[in-house]
Chains A and B, each alone.
Chain A
Amino acid sequence: MGVIYVLLTISIIVAILFFTAFIISVRSGQYDDAYTPSVRMLFEDELVKPDQEINKDIPNDTIENKNK
């Protein structure tokens, strides 16, 4: 019946693994903002625009020029 020690050890290790994962995720601030990610995940696809060429032609200071 020594197998019970093995099982207990495994189950506790697994539990502690998940627990550490939880602590790390809280510490990194994942739960500070629970709303924005839900909106952000819907953007992904539209970020890639077909005509990437245009971007390269416009220098960084586009905005500066526009307002002059």
Chain B
Amino acid sequence: MDKVNCYHCGDDCGKKPIEFDGKSFCCNGCKTVYDIFSTNDLSYYYDLQSSAGATPTVVEGKYDFLQEASIIAKLLEFNEDKLQIVNLYIPHIHCSSCIWILENLNKLNTSISSSQVDFPKKTVRIVYNPKLINLKDLVVLLARIGYEPYISLDDYDKGQPPVNRGLIYKLGIAGFAFGNVMFLSFPEYFEVDEFWLDQYKGVFRWLMFTFSLPVVFYAGQDYFISAFKGLRSKILNIDVPIAMGILVLFVRSTLEIIFDWGTGFFDSLTGLIFFLLLGKFFQQKTYSFLSFERDYKSYFPIAVTRITDRNKEETVQVYDVKQGDRLLIRNGELIPVDGILINGRAQIDYSFVTGESEAVFKESGDKIYAGGKQLEDAIEMDVLKSVSQSYLTQLWSNTVFSKDKASKFQTLTDSIGKRFTWAVLTIAFVATAYWLYFDSSKAMNVFTAVLIIACPCAIALAAPFTLGNMLRIFGRKKFYLKDTKTIEQLAKIDTAIFDKTGTITTTQKSSATYEGMRLSFEEESLLKNTLRASNHPLSRTLYDLLASHNIVPLDEYQEHLGLGLEGKKDNDHIRIGSADFVGNSIDNDPQNTSVHISSNNTYKGKFVFHNHYRKGVSNVFKEMNNTLDLAILSGDNEGEKTRLEKILPKLTPMYFKQKPEDKLNFINSLQEQDKKVMMVGDGLNDAGALAQSNVGIAISENVNVFSPACDGILDASKFDQLYTYIIASKKAMKIIRLSFLLSFLYNVIGLYFAVTGQLEPVIAAILMPLSSISVVGFTTLATNILGKKLK
């Protein structure tokens, strides 16, 4: 039978598609969205991109908190009586249809005056009239058409982040001034003694001086600040010689035009700063749709429902939840605090926290922890601890999260900068001393010329362009790094620590082995048909694993929540589920996930589920084992130990039952032994270890959805390439070293002119851009060749 795909969302419609308007839909939700679009003349949505939609998920009451004025005020960008502006993050935005429909929201509701999508950031900025439609209705409207916004505690705390456009302004100013100064200094390059040019020389020179003022004091100020900071903490970073060069260039040029000694070096000065800023700009690649700074706040809701003493429901901000409160958690809502389950059946998905996809069942009286998502109907719980004191969130009170990791790290450029500065100063003083002895009139000239020509423009550009380009190449390979420093760090690591669940295993459990008595054909058929009716993730997996059987309607079917399934056909009766449920209390191995089967009240056997390891795990570990120290750090029990031992290289240390804090401390103790540690993890429980490690890499099945704060996000499908990426980072560092060599070559040539006292402005104006451009050209070419080899 041909598969029918949903006209709206593109999913498989299954056996019974819903026919409407000549189109097939997988569910009523999709049909409704189609209906909304077509009646409002918005069916062009489907012409732009076929099946672009998402199945709407509307949970009644989920957005009730958006009626609270105090919460609304925190979320809005602009708030006035008749006009409100809100910026909402919608993860589903992915194609041109999405942009089109969201920018035509006013066709669905005229109270919305305009809406604008920022595609790279996946946000939509909506202007509406709060008198006619409130924020809650607006959000519900979006959810109904399949564009549910993601609103988390993070939005509540942060508000609107300020946009920093400083670098663009500086680049603009430097470029503007550079162009004009070049233009003005052209006559002097060639026709210095021409009569009428000579006459207006002063005007040209003072104009150049004016143009250079904003460049030195505004565009170049970062170099002075950084050099000053470096000197204060007794570090000679690369910005020290740069700042020295800029300052000497400016002072000498100004003096030259005041006393009419020459034209000055304004062209080189502005060009130098322009190129340096260009390097900075290139380095600054950001993935606006990713966030590397996420903590638990990005997953926690802003408000929850509290049940008051008088049995009424009220919305309360999560920070106001106190010990002893009774909360109502609806289907699909996150549990924000630790507590005790009072009412209802809990099926909690802790995948945010542990990376473990399989839901856990809890009964009333059980303790439930913050961070889990309720999958069943509404539950009631009593609060034991407030948000910041819960088991999971406590981790963030560790100082590791407040430290700035980058500031401690000395880059290759900076370490070169130190030696470079000493060398330049030595040469400058030796040359000056020589000239003081032979021809003292030239001494000052030579001193400044050395500092000018040795200004390490090309050196300062080598790293930004190499690493900036690497960052883009990695990005295309779905390995997203926070900044260029991460590549340098990655090249230096000697230890790699892996989390197990969700990191080296996939989140789906897709392999199972059967242990026990053979099932007859009838039994297997009955088993398959019983599983067919269940929506439990384990049932679905098992169903897919079993050989196909004819579909036979069951006489009786019952699902016991948290226990198992029961099915009956003719005289056969089958029970599927936990050991207790099927009547086998002896075999209760808690270390493995298993589904037990009994037929007609006799125990048959069990299906044992295994973690499914990612493709290439074994290879990646084997490759890494040669150069790196490896270890596994798992929050799980030791159930998988023997299987892991088979897959991984011999004697790989494995630690089980590690709490989030244990992981952090483990990394810390390694670092105290002077190890450079890379942590590869995925869940919030790894967040501490990721922050503590030198390079924290989060593995993500879907980069848009979730990853804890880290230095890099690796798409799960590229896990087998991890080691090649590390090698590539090492090679990138080699490229930088080579380009240092190249720029030293130019420096030697320049220094020859400087030391011998023949440095003309035109030589500086040629040599500086030439060295910069050739270094940039070399690094770009080399990294692109390197990138071609990556998979």
Chain A residues close to B by CB (< 8 Å)? 1, 4-5, 8, 12, 15, 19, 22-23, 26-27, 29, 31-36, 39-40, 42-43, 46-47, 49, 51, 54-55, 58, 60, 62-63, 66-67
The interface stretch among B17-25, B102-110, B336-344 is B102-110
B514 interface residue per 8 A CB criterion:
no
Residue pairs across A and B with Cβ atoms less than 8 A apart, 24 shown, are: A4-B203, A8-B203, A12-B180, A15-B176, A15-B179, A15-B180, A22-B172, A23-B169, A26-B165, A26-B172, A31-B168, A33-B118, A36-B117, A36-B118, A36-B119, A39-B119, A40-B99, A40-B103, A43-B96, A43-B100, A55-B40, A55-B41, A63-B109, A66-B36
Most chain B beta carbons < 10 A, residue from A33, A60, A63: A63
B123 to chain A, nearest CB (A): 9
Q: Which of B8-54 contact A (CB under 8 A)?
A: 32, 35-36, 39-41, 44, 47
A50 to chain B, nearest CB (A): 10
B163 interface residue per 8 A CB criterion:
yes
Q: How far is the CA of A29 from the CA of B173 in the complex (A)?
A: 17
Interface bits B143-177 vs A (CB < 8 Å: 1, else 0): 01000000000000000000101001100110010
* With contact pairs A32-B118, A60-B109, A67-B144 given, residues A26 and B199 touching in the complex (Cβ less than 8 Å): no
Q: How far is the CA of A34 from the CA of B168 in the complex (A)?
A: 14
B141 interface residue per 8 A CB criterion:
yes
* With contact pairs A29-B163, A39-B96, A39-B119 given, residues A46 and B44 touching in the complex (Cβ less than 8 Å): yes
Chain B residues close to A by CB (< 8 Å)? 32, 35-36, 39-41, 44, 47, 96, 99-100, 103-104, 107-111, 116-121, 132, 141, 144, 163, 165, 168-169, 172-173, 176, 179-180, 196, 199-200, 203, 207
Top 5 A-B pairs, shortest CB-CB distance: A36-B119, A33-B118, A19-B176, A39-B96, A35-B119
A16 to chain B, nearest CB (A): 8
B41 touching A54 by the CB < 8 A rule?
Answer: yes
B107 touching A55 by the CB < 8 A rule?
Answer: yes
Q: Which A residues touch B165, using CB under 8 A?
A: 26-27, 31
Which partner residue on chain B sits nearest A50 by CB separation? B41
Other-chain contact of B99, A39, A47, A55, A63 (Cβ < 8 Å): A39
A33 touching B141 by the CB < 8 A rule?
Answer: no
Q: Which A residues touch B203, using CB under 8 A?
A: 4-5, 8
Q: How far is the CA of A54 from the CA of B397 in the complex (A)?
A: 58
B467 to chain A, nearest CB (A): 22
A37 to chain B, nearest CB (A): 9
Q: How far is the CA of A12 from the CA of B581 in the complex (A)?
A: 86
* With contact pairs A42-B96, A62-B39, A66-B32 given, residues A32 and B163 touching in the complex (Cβ less than 8 Å): yes
B41 touching A36 by the CB < 8 A rule?
Answer: no
A63 touching B108 by the CB < 8 A rule?
Answer: yes
Q: How far is the CA of A58 from the CA of B36 in the complex (A)?
A: 11
Q: How far is the CA of A49 from the CA of B121 in the complex (A)?
A: 30
B317 to chain A, nearest CB (A): 28
A36 to chain B, nearest CB (A): 4
A1 touching B119 by the CB < 8 A rule?
Answer: no
Q: Which B residues touch A39, using CB under 8 A?
A: 96, 99, 119
B120 touching A63 by the CB < 8 A rule?
Answer: no
Other-chain contact of B121, A1, A27, A33, A66 (Cβ < 8 Å): A33
A17 to chain B, nearest CB (A): 11
Q: Which A residues touch B168, using CB under 8 A?
A: 26, 31
B318 to chain A, nearest CB (A): 29
Q: How far is the CA of A53 from the CA of B412 in the complex (A)?
A: 68
Which partner residue on chain A sits nearest B133 by CB separation? A60
Q: Which A residues touch B179, using CB under 8 A?
A: 15
B104 touching A67 by the CB < 8 A rule?
Answer: no
Q: Which A residues touch B96, using CB under 8 A?
A: 39, 42-43
Which partner residue on chain B sits nearest A37 by CB separation? B119
A47 touching B104 by the CB < 8 A rule?
Answer: yes
Q: Which A residues touch B100, using CB under 8 A?
A: 43
Other-chain contact of A67, B32, B47, B108, B172 (Cβ < 8 Å): B32
Which partner residue on chain B sits nearest A38 by CB separation? B119
B200 touching A4 by the CB < 8 A rule?
Answer: yes
Q: Which B residues touch A23, using CB under 8 A?
A: 169, 172
B791 to chain A, nearest CB (A): 26
Q: Which A residues touch B176, using CB under 8 A?
A: 15, 19, 22
Q: How far is the CA of A27 from the CA of B40 in the complex (A)?
A: 37
Q: How far is the CA of A47 from the CA of B45 in the complex (A)?
A: 11
B169 touching A66 by the CB < 8 A rule?
Answer: no
